[in-house]
Structure 1
């Protein structure tokens, strides 16, 4: 799953990784952060200035392959595509010496060469290297000249090594190539929607429930492992007994999200947050992105 687009989903999925936690598996389409750019049907990747401009153009093309974009090139692309991507890329390498002190064995046991009997602190000559790559990019909608995407994308990698150690970093060229690939993927995450399958942990707190209600609630939590819809129906029925209960409201929001009823999920998550379920805020943010994703998909479908 994508780190930027699905930040809240990733966080919830990490929480869901707790051993033995019951979860609901959900699939949804999330809107691209740059929604105007994502509504373009065709895109021409034009000149990207800089020594690694051609490599970045290829990386962006590869990142956008398999998305809804019709990618065009050359003069025909510039004249017919709905949007044009241009920009520039700069790279830099900063390498500086420094010294480090550490203990080293200076005398070993004559009978056991693996055993050190005396250590001394020695000064090592070392080097520190920072490789940086930065791309400034924008997409213009060709019919009216409107800039629908403008971003500065940085990438950097710091490494260090010392004399006498076999820990030299990868060649600069390899680091730059990796950075360029990362930037291409970052553009894809900005302007193309993402379909993702993710696990969200159900809320298990029985706070505010009687002993009998808590038992039924816990049984429904366990039921999610084999019959999700049955568990959801059970939580819905219990809501009549415990209106406004944080756990029931949040779990009903999860059920609505899994069923694709995002507006209802949004309302339930807001209600759950007001009732004291902090997870409701993350759920509401996710539901809003799912609503936006569905709206954008409908717009693209109408424009085919």
Structure 2
């Protein structure tokens, strides 16, 4: 959830200022559930409940192409390092009710409404509840590495002459697919490319320094590395300046120097650049993503 929050904030900052200067960064972020993500092979065991078979297949498809080796059948269950199991139950409730609406009850010869009245119309309400629980067990020691509920609820109303936009079957099929996708999001590290707006404030700088700072901000559109070199050269004349510290942190993040980025973002926070909080959190997650990738490679070699 935090990851979504700061990526969304960066996206909003960019789209909200179409002409704003940004730096584009690509980095690998860790899975939300670290230990489970280190499993090399998994089997998707039988799921209980009314839609268990559908969720089992959806999970197999969702985890395809990930870091996991998917094993099936009895041999897969016996040899996989981890097992995914659980249950899913679906409830559908439809009920009728009436609603009052204004309707024209009298028109003139030209079709213009002369009189409106409150009339009762018959309507229906459909509620679909899906309760899924998924857990992952490491087979070598029986340790539960992942155990999460995955609830889903869809409520829709329609009245006489209308129909719901999606059938019950379509809603359930989409929900099962989304539940499986959320499991992939929990277990699979991901590479993101995102744009973060540079900090442009120059309040408190001398006129000459402020002008050069602004020119470097503009330079990010055509030469991000050149802008970063320019900001680095300004450190002696504007020590502790929040916009400079934040932008240098963003430059370090873009280069993959995540520890340096964290330190610069933290300095920017202390200097008054609140944007540094999101930057420090993001760079810390990038550090974790790099360490996790190294750990997975080490375990494979071992």
TM-score with structure 1 setting the length: 0.93
What residue ranges of structure 1 are gaps of 5+ in the alignment?
none
Which residue number corresponds to residue 212 of structure 1? 208
- For this pair of structures, how many residues does the alignment match? 299
Q: What is the CA–CA distance in structure 1 between the aligned matches of 2:8 and 2:164, rounded to whole Å? A: 33
| Partner residue, 1:251 | 247
| Contact kept in structure 1, 2:3 and 2:282, CA below 8 Å | no
Q: Identify if the C-alpha distance between structure 1 residues 288 and 279 changes in structure 2 by more than 3 Å, giving closer, same or farther.
A: same
Structure 1 match to 2:235: 239
After alignment, is 61-70 or 97-106 more displaced? 97-106
Instruction: Determine the structure 1 residue equivalent to 2:125.
Output: 128
Report the Cα distance in structure 2 between the residues aligned to 1:4 and 1:155, rounded to whole angstroms. 21
Using the size of structure 2 for normalisation, the TM-score is: 0.94
CA contact (8 A) 2:245 2:264 kept: yes
Give, in angstroms, the shift of residue 58 of structure 1.
1.2
- Deviation at 1:123? 2.4
Aligned to 1:159: 156
Distance 1:154 1:216 in 2: 54
Task: Find out whether 1:73 has 2:72 as its counterpart.
Answer: yes
Which of 181, 185, 189 in structure 2 is aligned with 1:185? 181
Shift of 1:258: 0.7
For residues 285 and 86 of structure 1, the distance between their equivalents in structure 2, rounded to whole angstroms, comes to: 33
Is it true that 1:276 corresponds to 2:275 in the alignment?
Answer: no
Over 3 Å counting, the alpha-carbon distance change for 1:138 and 1:296 in structure 2 is same
Superposed CA offset, 1:254-278 (max 9, x none): 1111100111111111111222212
The answer to whether the aligner puts 1:197 opposite 2:193 as a matched pair is yes
- Write out per-residue CA displacement over residues 49-75 of structure 1, whole angstroms, 9 at most, x where no aligned residue: 112111111111111111111011111
> Equivalent residue for 2:15?
17
Residue 108 (structure 1) aligns with: 107
8 A Cα contact 1:63 1:184, kept in partner: yes
Deviation at 1:102, TM superposition (A): 2.4
1:97 equivalent in structure 2 = 96
- Measure, in 2, the Cα distance between the counterparts of 1:95 and 1:4: 36
Cα distance change, pair 251–117 in 1 and its aligned pair in 2 (3 A): farther
Asked whether the equivalents of residues 16 and 23 of structure 1 are also in contact (C-alpha less than 8 Å), the reply is: yes
Aligned residue in 2 for 1:302: 298
Alpha-carbon contact 2:52-2:87 (below 8 Å) kept: yes
Structure 2: tracts of 5 or more residues without a match: none
- Using the TM superposition, give the Cα deviation of residue 5 of structure 1 relative to its aligned residue in structure 2, in angstroms: 4.6
Residue 109 of structure 1: how far off its partner (Å): 4.1
